[in-house]
Amino acid sequence: MLIVPTLWHDPLTDQGLTQAFEELSVDEIVVKPVIGANADDAFRLVRAMSPEARGQVLSKFRSRMALVQPFLQSVVETGEYSLFYFGGQYSHAVVKTPAEGDFECKRNMVE
């Protein structure tokens, strides 16, 4: 099982977004809320995004915690595991597989 490097930001700032690309050594990242569902407010971002796109993402995380991870093509191709813990105790896991084109439709690739 692959453990995905994760950066935590509370709140996400312009400097934090820039540093995430550097720290993770990637050109694409995923920014999403710590608590969320259905890929709501989850963004697939490229390093060279426009200032308008950057502002849109930052406004979503002005008052809530975000997690930042490198974008993994395998999530689109084969899915990802979600592990569920309740009261600190492992309960179960599921494999989430996106529908055709789902990642690009529900999450926003901001360029």
pLDDT in tens, 42-63: 899 999 999 999 999 999 999 9
CA-to-CA dists, residue 34 to 6, 77, 101, angstroms: 11, 23, 23
Do 7 and 39 form a contact (C-beta atoms < 8 A)?
no
Q: What is the rounded average pLDDT of the residues 70-90?
A: 87
Q: Which CATH number does the domain 7-110 belong to among 3.30.160.620, 1.20.200.10, 3.40.50.300, 3.30.1490.20?
A: 3.30.1490.20
Q: Where are the domains of the chain?
A: 7-110
Number of H helices, E strands in the chain: 4, 7
What are the tens digits of pLDDT across the range 3-19? 899 999 999 999 999 99
For residue 53, what are its two tokens?
Answer: 């796109």
pLDDT of residue 110: 44
Lowest mean pLDDT among 6-10, 37-41, 49-53, 97-101: 97-101
